[in-house]
Structure formats: structure tokens, C-alpha cells
Structure 1
Amino acid sequence: SGGPSYSNQTLRQIVHTSIGGTSARLRISNAFGSAPLTVRDVHVAQRTSGSSVSTGSDRAVTFGGQSSLTVAAGAVAVSDPVSFTVAAQSDVAVSFYLPSATGSATYHQQGTQTNYVAGGDVSASATLSGASTNGSYAFLTNLDVQNPAAQGSVVTLGASITDGVASSQDSNKRWPNDLARRLSDSGRTIGVLNQGISGNKLLSDGAGQSALNRFDRDVTGQPGVRWVIFSDDPINDLGASSGAPSGAQLISGLQQLISRAHQAGLSFLCSTLTPFQGSSGWTQAGETARASINAFIRGSGSGCDGIVDQDTATHDPANPTRYLPAYDAGDHLHPNEAGLQAIANAVDLNLFGAATQPGGSYVALRSHANGKWVSAPDGGASALIANGDSVGTAQEFDEINQGSGLIALRAHANSLIVTAENAGADPLIANRTAAGSWETFQLLQNPDGSYSLKAQVNGKYVTAENAGAAALIANRDAVGPWEEFDLTTS
């Protein structure tokens, strides 16, 4: 709450996704507004760079079939689903026009992302020339990606460490971003919803509502949520300049969150508190309380469904009340990007269930054109190309039996199915949730033991165009080296 006011302006805000999908919904919030909020001309598009978007990806978003909406003070609006291919780990631009004075915006101050403000209604523009910039999010709270293969979502609830306050602008190196990449690389299709608010506390309001007060809205009310990781809020309670709560009071608050999560059917993953000696808010009493909270979390009977040991992951073994110097952002309160990655690495992915891929079987294709592995680059957002030197998530595909000797390929990069786009006239890309004729191929073995793919949609062979330097496309009538692939299974 407490953000700036806008009038006759377009906001273009950049959201970095965790999972991919083929449709999405938006949530527009006027939760902390004092007057109705009017929003018009809402658009989503793939961001290319800066304020620029791919115009071919641009989609208008409606609310109850209408292109404009008025959100009552204290209310939230959810859009209609919009058919929109969302790539995993990609940037989506959400643009909307605010025709009249909004009053103080419901906003997220510490966005660590450059967003754009331009005069007039320019939501559909490819680039917002002359736009001003800020690092906050206003009114937009959710980009809810729809993916039928998704296994659920995890909310990361915390304060500035979760908010990524010490990560660099526009880098997407908050620890929840790092966790999203780990989940994707493991083959799990799990959305990561970052609900970190810098300065937030567990017990008392201040920098936003306390974790206790916002839990229903920010955790149990989120789409598809199955898990919550509670992170660093209590550090701010302990660092209060006066009237800091005791460890017992904070443990009691934590127990309330655990109980409410379980009542909602969610798994609650507890994080130990990172060290903060040397910071301006550190006291010996606070350190004693931190130790008692960490002991409670690590002990039996806490009610935690799992532990993320952020403390052990980041502290200096020789001086455990302080950060390891390599992980200290410099203020002795926040971890730097290496420390944020260490926190993400401390999350046991088995807490989210077994990987569906690539832990199971997969296929990889190596082109005879250049000896490179076929990849679904940019998290599956770009066309398939033979450019991989080794096999990783981007080079792994599920082979889906379609019967009658036909197959479809599902990319591990984004859990979407490969299509011969535009009836084979455009390059292959992984952007479909179901297999039809464009997504079906005949897998043929050649005399030398290699394989070729023939697209059902046009009867053409898939080629590694330009000796593998260009994207794969189904446009050949016969098989030569460019159309031959070694197939590896695992």
C-alpha cells in the first residue's frame, strides 16, 4: 500500500515467469485503495527488451468479457483466461491504461525490476518511447499461468531476503527465482509465487500487513498452491528498535501459521533464520531468540512438514552468528546473490514429490548436420535448434506414443509439446499442451541406424536447416545428413 497516484497513464510491468503454459489470468488489486479504480485496455505480450514487446504475441485481456473494469476500494479483480503461450523462465509484459486519478496505489515497492510509465493510452504499443521507469509494481499482483501438466505451486512467504533486496536489478536472481530454475531443471512443473515484502514482520504490521494478517490472501488464496516456504519475516521482528518480541512469542506466531496451512491442506516448510550479527538491528537478546526459534524448527514436534536450513546454508562455520563472508551483501543482514543461490540450493526438492521428468525416461536427438544436440532454447520460448554441446533439460524430450507408428515430443524445458508451427511453414517450437496433426511425427529409422522425423501435417521431413545453424523446420521431401538424427534414450 501507499504507492504513487496515476492519471491518464499506461503502466507496463514486467513479470518473470516460473513455469510455462498456454493461457493466463491476471489479478488487479485495489486492496488498499480508498476509492474505485478504473482500468482499461489491458494487454499481455512477450517482452523482448526494455519496454518493447513482440507485437505478434500481444493479446488483449478482458474482465467478464469487457475491455475495461472498475475495481471497488478494498477489492480484487480476476481476468478472463487469455489464450497466450507463456514460456517458462521468460519475461511477460502486462500493460494497462489508468484513465483517471487512482489515488495512492496498491503496490509492491521493492520490485527489483524496471517497469515503465507512459502518458496516455499506449497499452498496445510495441515500445513505450519516452516512458519513465520505476522499480515497483502497482495494482498488478498475479500473472497466473495455466498449464495442465503443472503439479501445483509453492508460495515463498517472507521479507527482504525473499524479496531479493540484495540481488541486482532485472537479474531475476532472488532465491525464489533460483528455486524455480532448480525445480524446472529437475523436471518438476511447479509454479513459484514470491510473496516476499521487504521489511515485513511475522507479528506486527508495518512494511505491509504482517505475515499473520496477510496469510489468507497471500498464501491460501493463491491459485494451485500446495506448499508454502516461510522464510525471513521474524528477523525483522527481532531487529525492532524497541519492544522486540521474545523467541517464545515468535514461535507461537509460527505455530499459528503452521496450523492455518494444515487446515487449508497445505504443506508448511519452515526456514531457519539466517545470521545477522553485525547489522544495525542485532542484539544479544535477538540472537538468543533466533537460536531458540531455529532449535524449535529443527526439533521434533514443531509441526513443520520440512525444513529449509537457511542458517546452515549461509553462516560462517567459524563464526556461526555471522554470514560466511562470501555470502554477505555487506550489511550483515542480507545475503548477496551467491548467498541467495545457497538458500535456494538448501531446499530439498524431494519435499515436492518425485520428479516426473527428467528423472524418468527421455529422448535426445543429435543432428548429423553438425553433431549438436537439438535444444528447446530460452526455456522453450524459442524455436528448436541443433546447438547443444551436451544433454541437459533443454535437450530432453518425452516421446509420447500417438499410435500407428506416430509420436509427439514434449520438451522438458517447459513441459509443452513440439509443434510444426503454421502447418509446417514455420520452425518447430514447443508451445502446445495437446497433440494434434501439427504436433504428430512419424519416427523413421534410416539404413545407417539414425532416425528422421516426418511431420504429419505436411508430409515433410524435419531438417536442421542451414547445416544446423538455423532452426529445425519440416520442409524437406527427402532425407540427407541435415534430416538425420541420432536418438539417445535414458
Structure 2
Amino acid sequence: MSADNFTTAWTAAPQAPSEGFTPNWSREGFWRRSVRQTVRLTAGGGRVRIRLSNAYGTSPLRLAGASVARTASGAAVEPGSLRRLTFAGAHEVAIPARGQILSDPAELAVAAGESMAVTLYFDAATGPATFHAQAFTRSHRGPGDLLADVTGAGFDAVTESWYVLSAVEVDAGRADGVALFGDSLTDGFGSTPGADRRWSDALARRTGRPVLNAGIGGNLLLNDSAWYGEKGVNRLARDVLDHPGVDTLVVLIGVNDIGFSETDEQPTYHPAPLVEPAELVDGHRELIRQARERGLRVIGATLPPFGGSDHWGEHAAKVSHELNEWIRGAGEYDAVVDFQRLLADPADPDRLHPAYDFGDHLHPNDTGFEVMAEAVADVLSQGVAPALGQGVAPALGQDMAPALGQGLAPALR
């Protein structure tokens, strides 16, 4: 918890500018344009501040101004709620190359579950801009200084990415935040765009706790990617551990490390690295080590079934099974949520249940994400030693194993 009592209420993990598979404005950047971005807060308070990232900028990024407001609809904001932001007392600021800045707090009452608009105005050419590729909600762009535009009429273009903005913090005075760390399964691919149906959203609704979504679509645990962000073992500190108010980390990552070697459709890797179970285990152990050094409780999640997807094949099957067995049975996580068994098709446990399948046999749909959130909420409600329940397993030591049950970890062999 930070000394000034602020809690992170929303995050987006920064990525290097790229076109990838999501059309966006990151490579062209901004010049004499405003960008209005909508975020859904998972904690409330009377003051807000924003964190801006130039993590992948090679020169200082000039920001001519910024404002926040409660959203109305589309690019419009609630009249009377608009607040101009300052940075160390000034309206203008330069974000250092490879750096980030935090705004001064602004007086604005916001509630958990409420949407807030953040508007940034760039009067000088930014060059390629640090961004987050897949927002699954609309951001708006328009010419000139639109910081005070209440109606949203000045914005004439939309995208589904976030730019420069990496966090919103509120003076909630809370230290019970939950950070979800992973790839597209966490980022929200498969959820209904604009509806806030990611499993991070569902978890915030179920628990009432601040929830940070630190997922990046396509992200890998062990390898960097021009499209899909820095490898997980390197970005955890920036994207989770350095945010105030977090006490629990949930790890769900590895499916792309395993699956990219099975597909020819991802031009980021030709050929993809062939990853073995022991390498992934070492990566998970590194995440656990980093989080525990900061005093966080760490929950491990097994990889959901992905048989029949473009990530599946003989090697992927072997590695995913062995990794999931380690997550379930090694006793190295404080608790385990068994998504593999919880989301499986009873007729074929290597495949997602049809009721939970977005359609690509890899990503859950809105219903599947709700099931995932419910399982994690059950673990969180139990504290450090969760009681056994459907789809939930505690971290197992060598001298204990639960009785077999639906969705539970099997006894150690």
C-alpha cells in the first residue's frame, strides 16, 4: 500500500507499438489530436489520478493536457464531472523515454463498477505510441484540444485499443487488490466487446475487491514478442508488483509458449521456440519468487482445455498436461484453481465444454469467464487455506492430497 493511501482501480499492461492482428493508431501516433479512453473502475474514492506510460518511447513524449470525467455514453461525459489534471502542478508534461509519470490527484467522486473517461491531448508529434492492443471497448480520437468537450461531438474516429494510459488510481485506502496475470485468456478475448464481460470484470463484481487485469493477448511466459509484449517473467514487476494496493496475484499463462509451435498462423515466430515442461515450471517459479518477495499471496491456475484449437497438437498436449499436473500437485502455489477440469467437456476433457467455448476451442465466452471468476472468488473467500470446492484445489504438499472430486486435484502419484 502506498503512503498516500491510493489504490490501483484499473490497469492496462503497456505494449510496444505494433499493428499485429488488431488495427490501431500506435504506429502512427498522434499530432494535434485528442484521445478519449473509457475505463471501468474496480474501486471507488473521492480523488483520482492516472499513470501514463512511455515504456517503449525512444524520446520524451510531450503531453499538452489531460482531463478525467465520469462517462455518459459513447465519447460524451457527465456534465459537471470533468476535471483538468495537473502533473507536479503543471498542465503540460513530458514523459521520459522508457519512463512513466503519475498525475496529481483530482477531486472526483467515483464508485466501483463505474466507467471513467480519460482524455489526453497531444499538440506535438508523438511518434509511435506505447499502447495496449486489445481493449474490447472503444476509444475515441478527434482533431485539436478536446479536453473540455462534454458532448463528445468533436471525436470522429474510434479504435479498440488504449494508448499511453496504463493505470487509474483512487484514494480508496485499500490493500486487498487482486491482480490477474496472463495472456488473451485474461485480457478478455472471447468476451463481448463493450460489455465488460472479461473474467476480471466478473471477479470484481463478485468480490467487491479491486481487480487489476494484467493480461496481454498473445503474451508468453518465456519469450518476448514484437506483437504480444515482453515475456511474463520480465514484465511482472511493472505490470503488477509496482501498483499500490495489491495483495494477491493469480497466474494463468503458458498456452502461447506451448501452442505457437503448433500453428503456422502467427508470423511473430517462424519457427516458434519448442518449449518443454521444465522450462515453463522454472518460469512459474520465477513469478512466484518475485511476487512472494513483495509479500503477495500467489494463486496458480491450470491452463484451460484447448484441444481442437490451432494451438493444439501432440507436443502441446504433452506439455500442457505435465504443466497442469505440476501446478496442481507441486505445492508451490499458495492455492490452485483448476480451470482445466472446471471448463472441460465431459465427453473430451482436452476440449472446452461447448457451453463455455467462444468458438475457436481456445478462448472461453462470457459464460466461461463467469465460471472462472466464480472459482477464483471461492478461493479468495477462503483465505490462505481454501476449503475444497468444485474446480478449486489448495496448494498441495508432499504429505497431503484431497479426495477426488469434480474439478479437484488428484492425489499425488
Does TM, normalized by the shorter one, top 0.5? yes
1:222 is aligned to 2:243:
yes
Please point out which of 222, 226, 232 is paired with 1:203: 222
Give per-residue Cα distances to partners, 1:333-390, cap 9 Å, x unaligned: 1111111111111114453567xxxxxxxxxxxxxxxxxxxxxxxxxxxxxxxxxxxx
Q: Which structure 2 residues correspond to residues 125-274 of structure 1 after superposition, within 5 A? A: 125-129=149-153, 130-148=155-173, 150-184=174-208, 190-206=209-225, 207-231=228-252, 233-241=253-261, 242-274=272-304
* Identical-residue share of aligned pairs (%): 37
- More displaced stretch, 124-133 vs 260-269: 124-133
2:50 touches 2:167 (CA, 8 Å); kept in 1?
A: yes
Q: 1:214 to 1:14 in 2, by over 3 A?
A: same
1:30 touches 1:75 (CA, 8 Å); kept in 2?
A: yes
- More displaced stretch, 303-312 vs 263-272: 303-312
Task: Determine helix, strand or coil for the equivalent of 2:72.
Answer: strand
Instruction: Give how far 1:160 is off.
Output: 0.5
1:49 is aligned to 2:76:
no
Give per-residue Cα distances to partners, 1:17-53, cap 9 Å, x unaligned: 1121111110011010122111122111000100000
Give per-residue Cα distances to partners, 1:277-305, cap 9 Å, x unaligned: 1111211211111111111111143x201
Any unmatched runs of 5+ in structure 1? 185-189, 355-490
Task: Determine helix, strand or coil for the equivalent of 2:210.
Answer: strand
2:74 touches 2:152 (CA, 8 Å); kept in 1?
A: no
1:114 touches 1:133 (CA, 8 Å); kept in 2?
A: yes
Please point out which of 354, 357, 360 is paired with 1:325: 354
1:109 is aligned to 2:133:
yes
Q: TM-score scaled to structure 1, two decimals?
A: 0.69
What is the alpha-carbon distance in structure 1 between the residues aligned to residue 184 and residue 151 of structure 2?
Answer: 31
Paired residue for 1:122?
Answer: 146
Q: How many residues align?
A: 346
Paired residue for 1:63?
Answer: 87
Larger radius of gyration: 1
Q: TM-score scaled to structure 2, two decimals?
A: 0.82
> Structure 1: which 4+ aligned runs deviate by more than 6 Å?
none
1:107 touches 1:137 (CA, 8 Å); kept in 2?
A: yes
Please point out which of 362, 365, 370 is paired with 1:336: 365
Instruction: Give how far 1:55 is off.
Output: 2.3
Please point out which of 292, 306, 310 is paired with 2:335: 306
Q: 1:204 to 1:300 in 2, by over 3 A?
A: closer
1:306 touches 1:351 (CA, 8 Å); kept in 2?
A: no
- More displaced stretch, 126-135 vs 336-345: 126-135
Any unmatched runs of 5+ in structure 2? 1-15, 18-25, 262-271, 384-413
What is the alpha-carbon distance in structure 1 between the residues aligned to residue 330 and residue 311 of structure 2?
Answer: 30
Q: Which has the higher contact order (CA 8 A, sep 6+)?
A: 2
What is the alpha-carbon distance in structure 2 between the residues aligned to residue 105 and residue 170 of structure 1?
Answer: 23
Task: Determine helix, strand or coil for the equivalent of 2:65.
Answer: strand
Give per-residue Cα distances to partners, 1:41-98, cap 9 Å, x unaligned: 2111000100000121111111101111001110100011111101110110001100
Please point out which of 59, 62, 85 is paired with 1:35: 59
Instruction: Give how far 1:243 is off.
Output: 2.6
The residue type equivalent to 2:336 in the other structure is I
Give per-residue Cα distances to partners, 1:435-481, cap 9 Å, x unaligned: xxxxxxxxxxxxxxxxxxxxxxxxxxxxxxxxxxxxxxxxxxxxxxx
Larger relative strand fraction: 1
Give per-residue Cα distances to partners, 1:305-348, cap 9 Å, x unaligned: 11122112211122100000111111111111111111111114
Please point out which of 320, 326, 338 is paired with 1:296: 326
Instruction: Give how far 1:152 is off.
Output: 2.3
The residue type equivalent to 1:147 in the other structure is A
Instruction: Give how far 1:10 is off.
Output: 0.5
